[in-house]
Structure 1
Amino acid sequence: MAYDFTTITLDVSNHVATLTLNRPESRNALNSRMCVELVQAAERLAADPDAHVVLIRGAGPVFCAGADLKERKDMSTEEITARRVRGFTAYAAIERLPQPVIAVVHGAAFGSGCEIAGASDFILASTEARFKYPEVGWGTIGATQRLPRIVGVRMAKELLFTGRVVDAQEALTLGMVNHVYSVEELPVRAAEMAAQIAAAAPLTVRLTKRCVDQGVETTREGAMAVEMLAIEENLRHTDWKKAISSFGSSGANTSRDAATSPAANPGSDGARSTDRPAGAQS
């Protein structure tokens, strides 16, 4: 299934949704229209039972070069504020998707590109990937909430204060990305991982995501309560006995829950407080 947008593309095939930032002539710079379309795409994906996992990519040689500064040149202070809010809303929409979201980063991910990638559950990067938080150098503020939760407070301050470029290997060391692959290997590995996740029971995956995201924001006791509630919901809505009985067989990881009710979309209530809350450069 494909959807019609102007600044992004969205396709769902074999339970894998691929959302592509599609302004290659502008290095996929985030403009107002893209902010709106990212929110629209996230809303459609959250309601699509066929989409089990989401990949976010960039068209052309970079992932996203940041905000579209040309768009901002003639904006008033009020218009800039409204534009920043639209960016925050787009990042939050990605972050709150109930499905696992994987950013597949090649080339530059600067400013808004870092925030889009950071709003994903994790990042797979190519050896050519580069990350940069240039907000302070532009005389503005942004990316102050997700980044510290990813790399720690002290390193986040260094990256924000200096705006220096982080290459793929350092990003791996810092925990900004999960894996680094060659340019040729990245799309293959991303597709393999997405297919593996998509083969699992979708409700179970969504509940697991919700447990992690909510659990890290509360006490250990509160987190265990979150997990117990998720376990109970999973038992009620999935064929867990079949999954256990098939363990070790060729179909061990292919069980599906058939629930299409709101219970099968646990993230749609905005419950994902996340380890990377909204509040970012756009």
Structure 2
Amino acid sequence: MPEGHTVHRLARLQRRRFAGRPVAVSSPQGRFTTGAGAVDGRVLDGVDAHGKHLFQYFGPDTVVHVHLGLWGRFGNRRRPETPPRGQVRMRIVGDSHYADLRGPAACELLDDAGVAALRARLGEDPLRADADPERVRDRFARSRAPLAALLMDQSVIAGVGNVFRAETLFRTGLDPMTPARELDDDTFAALWADLSAMLRDGERRGRIETILPAHDDGPPETPARGPVCASVVYTYRRTGRPCLVCGTPIAHRAVRARNLFWCPRCQAGSTVYPLGDR
């Protein structure tokens, strides 16, 4: 499932290519025909993201909400547009580009109240300027749930998925099964700062690479990638392979039906310590 950085990058791209001008909107697949007809030919005022949710604003009480889910893609291409291929739920055509939405979990037209209700159910998004980490800190302080579970709860922190969950817990040296309420203020601040930094970097790059410079000294994976080590993540999907820092085999277990990966040695404690000190 695309994580929050992907949706924020998509929102930024669509603002640049479509916002402020009339756009043609259609539903070649036919499953969004009514919604597409309501916004076809209208000016796209803006595009916003909150966690894994995308919002296209076409005026008061006229907002297209998209959630990509597990399989959704929202490809953007230069015009002239080609005939739709596959199941295109929604097509947006602007002056110079067009975008095809395929396979989303949600594509719907909402009024302002619907948008407000949806966003009220979401937690704080580290990529948003209006994010309030104190609200997240309060939820952590009141929760017995393990960090591995709470970090994936979209009502607590919006936009975090399996990759960022595993990687931020490794980079901050936290045992994934530590109850959230056991974190002190400094440890929580370090976790929030690291997660925010990784999401921002992912949004900027358009991909997830979590290896810190101190460990980015392996051979290039491909000539085009430059000097990056063979792995671009520390733990995610590296079950049984040696930890890049200490050599311990990476462990795996399911937590609330989602795969978790961690290093039993580097993450043995419940306090943050720098990667360089391991």
Larger of the two Rg values belongs to structure:
2
Whose helix proportion is higher, 1 or 2? 1
| Bin for the TM-score computed over the shorter chain | under 0.3
Bigger RCO (CA 8 Å, 6+ sep): 1
Q: Give me the TM-score of the superposition, normalised by structure 2.
A: 0.28
